[in-house]
């Protein structure tokens, strides 16, 4: 994710419509665990979770993302 976020095609999308949060995978908050359980086939870090302003799951993915894949997930939140 560190390589994708600063990209000129991704960074502005995140800045315009999202609040990005990171969780400690060794000690995640219970709310993060609940959301991560909704990702189908969630086996590999990192997890990307898109939730609405009420904390409701919208989309998610497990493992490294391509730029196109991440933008597709972000589209689920707009």
Is residue 6 a part of any domain in this protein? Answer: no
Please give the residue range of the domain that contains residue 58: 11-75
The verdict on residue 5 lying in a domain is no
What does the block give as tokens for 12? 């502005």
pLDDT digits (tens, 9 = 90+) for 35-70: 999 999 888 999 999 999 899 999 999 999 999 999
Cβ atoms of residues 49 and 32 within 8 Å: yes
Beta strands in 1-78 (DSSP E): 47-51, 57-62
Q: Which residues contact 72 (CB under 8 A, 6 or more apart)?
A: none
Mean pLDDT of the region 6-32: 91
CA angle centred on 18, ends 47 and 46, rounded to 5° = 10
Query: Looking at the 3D structure of the chain, how many domains does it have?
Result: 1
Which structure tokens are listed for 33?
């665990």
Task: Confirm whether 26 is domain-assigned.
Answer: yes
- Assess contact for 21 and 4: CB atoms under 8 A: no
The answer on pLDDT for 77 being more than 60 is: no
User: Tokens 């000129």 label which residue?
Assistant: 8
In this predicted model, what pLDDT tens digit does every residue of 18-27 receive, in sequence order? Answer: 988 889 989 9
Q: What is the pLDDT of residue 20?
A: 87
pLDDT at 78: 58
2 domain residue, yes or no: no
pLDDT at position 43: 86
């Amino acid at each position: 994710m560190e390589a994708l976020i600063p990209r000129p095609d991704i960074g502005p999308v995140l800045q315009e419509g999202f609040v990005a949060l990171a969780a400690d995978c060794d000690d995640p908050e219970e709310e993060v665990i609940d959301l991560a359980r909704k990702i189908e086939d969630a086996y590999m870090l990192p997890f990307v979770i898109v939730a609405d302003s009420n904390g409701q799951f919208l989309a998610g993915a497990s493992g490294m993302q391509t730029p196109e894949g991440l933008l597709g997930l972000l589209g689920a939140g707009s």
